[in-house]
Amino acid sequence: MQQPKRGLVQQIKDVLASGEDRVGKGSQVCKAIRTQLGQKWVGIYDVGPLECSVIAWSGPAVPQSFRLPAGKGLTGEAVWCGFALAAYIIGLSFIARKESTRGGLAYWPCYFLAAPILLALIMDAKGYLQPALLVSAVLGLWVARCLRYTFGGTERNLGRTVSGLLAGIVWVDLLAVVDVERPLALVFLALFLLALFFQRFIPAT
């Protein structure tokens, strides 16, 4: 897998260095990515403050919409939510790695666990602040409870911390779509409870 990836990077560099216009370069880059990585459809979008528009694509189907209002489709907001989830996973993974190794455990990776809360308070400050505060409080309290098993006593229980944080991913996901209707929010709650239930029979770590 490493050789195709290096070849792809070089292909993209060559395309960007060519004399073609923006659309032509975008089409070639999309085609190279789709071919090298075996994807069905690849597109490049121009993301602006009010809308995002298709620059180029490669695949069997034409885009259903060439322009999308901000907040619809795969926009910067969705990408930032992905980064917040990734940061949470990074913090969780640093703690999980210590299950199989001995030695001290640093506090700083735990700050990554707060990324979804910080992002939600920034993104939802205008439209959905109240539900964002509620879900952020639930997530924050749950994370604090989980970390207590590792940092709150003389005998740490990393397994319990990690399994609890894994279940907490459901709350991270809910923060990303905090404006959903109440019935769907209850589905997230049910998934969280089911995760805790099944962890009794299938160890998370």
Q: List the CATH number of the domain containing 49.
A: 3.30.450.40
Confirm if 28 and 8 have CB atoms less than 8 A apart: no
Domain membership flag for residue 205: no
Verify that 94 and 171 share a domain, yes or no.
yes
pLDDT value, residue 191: 94
pLDDT value, residue 135: 93
Residue-wise burial string across 26-38, b where 16 or more C-beta atoms lie within 10 A, e elsewhere: bbbbbbbbbeeee
Domain membership flag for residue 62: yes
Verify that 158 and 124 share a domain, yes or no.
yes
Verify that 29 and 60 share a domain, yes or no.
yes
Its domain, for residue 105, covers 76-198
Query: Using H for helix, E for strand and C for coil, what is the string for 113-181?
Result: HHHHHHHHHHHCCCCCHHHHHHHHHHHHHHHHHHHHHHHCCCCCCHHHHHHHHHHCHHHHHHHHCCCCC
Token code pair at residue 106: 């640093």
Please report which residue ranges of 18-58 form alpha helices under DSSP H: 22-37
Give 115: exposed, middle or buried? Use CB within 10 Å, 0-12, 13-18, 19+: buried
Is the per-residue pLDDT at 21 higher than 60? yes
Q: What's the structural domain count of the chain?
A: 2
Among 47-51, 70-74, 152-156, name the one with the lowest average pLDDT: 70-74
Is the per-residue pLDDT at 71 higher than 60? no
Q: pLDDT-based confidence at 2, cuts 50/70/90?
A: very low
| Between 60 and 194, the higher pLDDT residue | 194
Verify that 65 and 98 share a domain, yes or no.
no
| Between 116 and 125, the higher pLDDT residue | 116
pLDDT value, residue 142: 95
Is the per-residue pLDDT at 1 higher than 70? no
Q: What are phi and psi of 138, to 5 degrees?
A: -60, -50
Closest listed residue to residue 45, CA positions, set 19, 81, 76, 7 = 76
Is the per-residue pLDDT at 9 higher than 90? no
Which of 37, 69, 101 is the C-terminal boundary of a domain? 69
Q: What is the DSSP letter of 13?
A: H
Alpha-carbon span 7 to 2, nearest angstrom: 9
Taking the whole predicted model, whether its pTM rises above 0.75 is answered as no
Domain membership flag for residue 203: no
